[in-house]
Structure 1
Amino acid sequence: MKVGFDAKRIFHNTTGLGNYSRDLVSILSKFSPENEYVLYNPKPKKVTRLHLRDNMKEVLPEGMVWKKLSSLWRQRAVSKQIKRDGIALYHGLSGELPRGLENSTVKTVVTIHDLIFMRYPKLYSFFDRKIHYSKFLYAARTADRVIAISEQTKRDIMAFLKIPEEKITVIYQGCNEAFKQVRDDAEKAALRAKLNLPEAFVLNVGTIEERKNALSVVKAMKNQDIPLVIVGKKTDYYQQIAAYIGKEGMEDRVQFLEGLSLDELATLYQMATVFVYPSIFEGFGIPIIEALYSQTPVITSNSGVFPEAGGPHSAYVDPYDSEELAKMIKKLVASPADRAEMITKGREFVQKFDDAVIAKNLNRLYEEIS
Structure 2
Amino acid sequence: MKVQLPIVKAFVNLGTYLRNYCENDNTQSKAESNIDDAIVNAGQHNGWFTQDNILFALREWAHLLTEENLLQWLNNYDLEKDNDPKTVGIVMAGNIPLVGFHDLLCVLLSGNKVLVKLSSNDKILLPFLAKYLIEQEPSLSEKITFVEGKFEDFDAIIATGSNNTSRYFEYYFSKGPHIIRKNRSSVAILQGTETQEQLKALSADIFQYFGLGCRNVSKLFVPRGYDFEPFFNAVFDSKDIIDHHKYANNYDYNKAVYLMSELKILDNGFLILKEDEGYSSPIAVLFYSYYDSEAELRAQLKEESSMIQCVVSKGNEGEEIPFGNTQKPKLDDYADGVDTMDFLLKL
Q: Same fold (TM over 0.5)?
A: no
For the aligned pair, the TM-score class normalised by the smaller chain equals 0.3 to 0.5
Higher relative contact order (CA 8 A, sep 6+): 2
Taking structure 2 as the reference length, the TM-score comes to 0.35
